Amino acid sequence: MADRIDTRIQLTSDGHKPYLEAVEDAFGGEVDYAMLHKVYGNSATPDTRYSPPECIGCEKRPISGNPDDRFISTSHVERQNLTMRMSMRRFTRLTNGFSKKIENHEHAVAIHYMHYNFIRKHATLKTTPAVMAGIANRGWTMMDFVVMLEKEEATNGGRLTDYKPTASKKA
């Protein structure tokens, strides 16, 4: 991602320690980076095994650069993660809707985001996020999406994936 960004950004992660090295590897010192560490309390009742603990506070920790305290937040990405989990069964815990191959998983995520940003009208925006951001001049339809895929396949001389159908075995 860092290679596709032309300007300096502010980045916030949760307190997961591997993010420290990942952000350093990706951005070096060219990022305003902070961690938002949530502090959780203990549950008063023992039968809350499947319930999340109560968040009793947050600690904002500047890590590198000069992050603006007003924008240290993980709310946007947490909302996006929730939307993806609720929209795609493969991200739901204890389900059989998982991807057996990483390539299938990647394609499912790409289709989800294409639909979410270009096709689905959002109630609060009254349009698609792509139109609101000025990336598209109108909301797309599923047919627009299919036509785009077919044109890309025609340009590339075949399917967009390297899927090769195999001859079915006779029982």
Q: 60 with 89, same domain?
A: no
Whether the per-residue pLDDT at 169 is higher than 50: the answer is: no
Q: Which amino acid is at 76?
A: H
Number of domains into which the chain is organized: 2
For residue 58, the tally of other CB atoms under 10 A from its CB is 15
pLDDT higher for 48 or 24?
Answer: 24
At 89 the pLDDT is 81
Q: Would you say residue 126 lies in a domain? A: yes
| Mean pLDDT value of segment 5-13 | 91
Domain range for 37 is 2-73
Using the structure block, give the residue that is written with the tokens 């070096």. Answer: 28
> 100-108, long-range: CB within 8 Å, 24+ apart, which pairs?
103/161, 107/161
pLDDT averaged over every residue in the chain: 86
User: How far is C-alpha 77 from the chain's CA centre?
Assistant: 7
How many residues make up the chain in this entry? 171
Whether the per-residue pLDDT at 167 is higher than 60: the answer is: no
Q: How far is it, in rounded angstroms, from Cα 57 to Cα 152?
A: 49
Q: What pLDDT digit, counting tens, does each position of 62-115 carry?
A: 999 999 999 999 998 899 889 888 888 887 767 777 777 888 888 889 999 999
At 162 the pLDDT is 57
Q: Would you say residue 103 lies in a domain? A: yes
Q: 64 with 132, same domain?
A: no
Whether the per-residue pLDDT at 147 is higher than 90: the answer is: yes
Q: 51 with 85, same domain?
A: no
| Mean pLDDT value of segment 133-148 | 95
Q: 67 with 83, same domain?
A: no
Q: How far is it, in rounded angstroms, from Cα 93 to Cα 21?
A: 28
pTM as predicted? 0.65
Q: 24 with 69, same domain?
A: yes
pLDDT higher for 4 or 50?
Answer: 4
Using the structure block, give the residue that is written with the tokens 């990647």. Answer: 106
Q: Would you say residue 122 lies in a domain? A: yes
Q: What pLDDT digit, counting tens, does each position of 106-123 carry?
A: 888 999 999 999 999 999
Q: With left for phi above 0 and alpha for psi between -120 and 50, is residue 61 left, alpha or beta?
A: beta
At 170 the pLDDT is 47
Q: 65 with 130, same domain?
A: no
Torsion of CA 142, 143, 145, 151, to 10 degrees: 170
User: How far is C-alpha 80 from the chain's CA centre?
Assistant: 6
Q: 91 with 140, same domain?
A: yes
Q: With left for phi above 0 and alpha for psi between -120 and 50, is residue 140 left, alpha or beta?
A: beta
